Amino acid sequence: MSTIDYSKWEKLQEGSDEEMFQQPLPPSSPRQPIKVGPFAVANPRLPDDPTARREVLREQKELRDFVRLHPCPAEADLRAWLRRMHEQSEKPQVKHGTFAWVMRNMEWNSEHLAWFHYPSFRVLWESAALAPSTAFAGQRSAGITLYERGGKPCMQFNFYALHHAMAGEDFHANAPFPVYTFAGDIEKVWDGIGSWWA
């Protein structure tokens, strides 16, 4: 009896993986204009109180230092992680606070993985190492690209994926507090992009 050549099967699976991440679902609601909302400020004002101002500046430095030590994961690693999160989201027990848990609660399935857009994701990750005024343009541009790909749901998918990849334990452990609050900064920068409101 001859042995089975599984190499062709692996190639088929690779091809289907490519398809899984290539065709994003279209937006489910009509397009809305892209505006700059009131929370989308390129250079947010620092607190007047010297102690509070020092704390904000300290947290910004802590975030920058963290991102310099933890560069954005490779696209292949993030795709593998997203596939794993999808598989875990379908299990009866899903660990609370994980991206798999978010996927289940948002009712995202394998088709929604195509919303993942690595170039935008990487811009957002790397923007955490920049001053807010420098990061603003790239963060807005990434949000607009995601909105054009799949509307607000596509933005949400990448927003939550970014937060869980940066602050979760799948790529590194013990992220400092400013990493957890970074998503809130993105949320404000995206204010007014279509139906995204901070």
Q: Within a domain: residue 22?
A: no
Domain-embedded: residue 78:
yes
Q: For residue 18, give Cα distances in angstroms to 13, 23, 40, 79, 154.
A: 9, 9, 35, 10, 18
> Does residue 170 form part of some domain?
yes
CA-to-CA dists, residue 140 to 28, 46, 103, angstroms: 22, 20, 24
Query: What percentage of the chain reaches a pLDDT higher than 70?
Result: 89
Report how many domains make up the chain: 1
Nearest residue to 115 via CA among 66, 93, 88, 82:
82
Residue 111: inside a domain, yes or no? yes
* 126 found inside a domain: yes
Domain span at 76: 44-189
What does the buried/exposed string (b/e) look like for 115-135 if buried means 16 or more CB atoms within 10 Å of the residue's CB? bbbbebbbbbbebbbbebeeb
Cβ neighbourhood burial of 159 (10 Å; 0-12, 13-18, 19+): buried
Q: What is the pLDDT of residues 100-135, one digit of tens each?
A: 999 999 999 999 999 999 999 999 999 999 999 999
Residue 26 lies in a domain: no
Q: What are the pLDDT tens digits along the chain (198 aa)?
A: 555 554 444 444 444 555 667 777 777 777 888 999 999 999 999 999 999 999 999 999 999 999 999 999 999 999 999 999 999 999 999 999 899 999 999 999 999 999 999 999 999 999 999 999 999 999 999 999 999 999 999 999 999 999 999 998 899 888 999 999 999 999 999 999 999 998
Rounded to two decimals, the pTM is 0.86
- Whole-number Å distance between alpha carbons of 73 and 95: 22
Cα 55 to Cα 57: distance, rounded to the nearest angstrom: 5
Q: Has residue 183 been placed in a domain?
A: yes
Interatomic CA distance for residues 75 and 123, integer angstroms? 12
* Position 115 in a domain: yes
Cα distances (angstroms) measured from residue 169 to each of 25, 72, 108, 174: 29, 14, 21, 7
